Structure 1
């Protein structure tokens, strides 16, 4: 069910924004069925993925979206000086600090 909802959001965003590409990924802890790490851990992986995508489409707007931990990390990545995000879409932002 969870994958269905995120795939639906991916398609809705792609259609409504007339996107060139929508890149999706999971953090490593998800496939290992571990509890989520602190938000600082996946920043490098997330940032690298965003930079590769932005380099592939340099003249297109960059919109980051995430669910839960992905929202938090997207906000952190968008705040980096080297990332020029046009928007950040947060689908469930974890406000509790662990």
Structure 2
């Protein structure tokens, strides 16, 4: 994957907090029809093993990518303390700022937004607004955090019940943040489709005796995302 880029700028929207460094990675051919803007999960940035592998697989399938880090994660790279992420709502302006920047740089590409776990949740909270503006073609969530592990009664789905933006949720069948048996009982928007990853955990990894492999599961996830972006 291409090296990190560093761009120092203030946030375009939301509370002013002074200049900050945005770390991002852009990959894929400029002639690609689609570009997927992906944010990371709560505890690991865009250079994690998971993000690196998924980016490579998606690039192989003809999707251009922009991976970026929220300011709290970027601060860690600059020597700041390892603090927990802000509430998801607080991160929406940063995501919107990145979409605006990427759209200006790539005016001929159809944009999609999404992310891993928390990053996908933030994207999902912004998706309808951007879709109504015709700024994006859809939403991709890789391991959506439907609830914290061990608390299946505290679902984070209010906005997903009325989502109007076409969406794909790629979810491990035994994800502790929302497994298949739990989520298939929940009524969500008909705009949401699922790709269930066989025996997958939150990173799509299967158990050793399942008959499935991590490599195969990641490839299946990338295939599902490629099919979704091609459709929309």
TM-score range, shorter chain: 0.7 to 0.9
Moved over 3 A (4+): none
Tell me which structure has the larger Cα radius of gyration: 2
- Are residues 1:73 and 2:116 paired? no
Structure 1 vs Structure 2 CA RMSD = 1.9
- Are residues 1:8 and 2:53 paired? yes
User: Which is helix-richer, 1 or 2?
Assistant: 1
Consecutive unaligned residues of structure 2, counting only runs of 5 or more, are 1-43, 148-155, 157-232
Q: Distance in 1 between matches of 2:71 and 2:58?
A: 24
Q: Note the C-alpha offset of 1:83.
A: 5.5
Consecutive unaligned residues of structure 1, counting only runs of 5 or more, are none
Q: How does 1:1-98 map to 2 (within 5 A)?
A: 3-16=48-61, 18-19=62-63, 21-30=64-73, 31=76, 32-80=81-129, 81-82=132-133, 84-96=135-147, 97=156
Q: Is the 8 A contact 1:62 1:85 kept in 2?
A: yes
Q: Note the C-alpha offset of 1:70.
A: 0.5
Q: Note the C-alpha offset of 1:52.
A: 0.9
Q: Distance in 1 between matches of 2:86 and 2:134?
A: 23
Q: Distance in 1 between matches of 2:57 and 2:137?
A: 18
Residues 32-71 of structure 1 deviation map (CA, whole Å, 9 limit, x = unaligned):
4211221111111111101111121122111212011100
Q: Distance in 1 between matches of 2:86 and 2:97?
A: 18
Query: Partner of 2:30 in structure 1?
Result: none
User: Which is strand-richer, 1 or 2?
Assistant: 2
Secondary structure of 1:59's partner? Answer: coil
Scaled by the length of structure 2, what TM-score is found?
Answer: 0.37
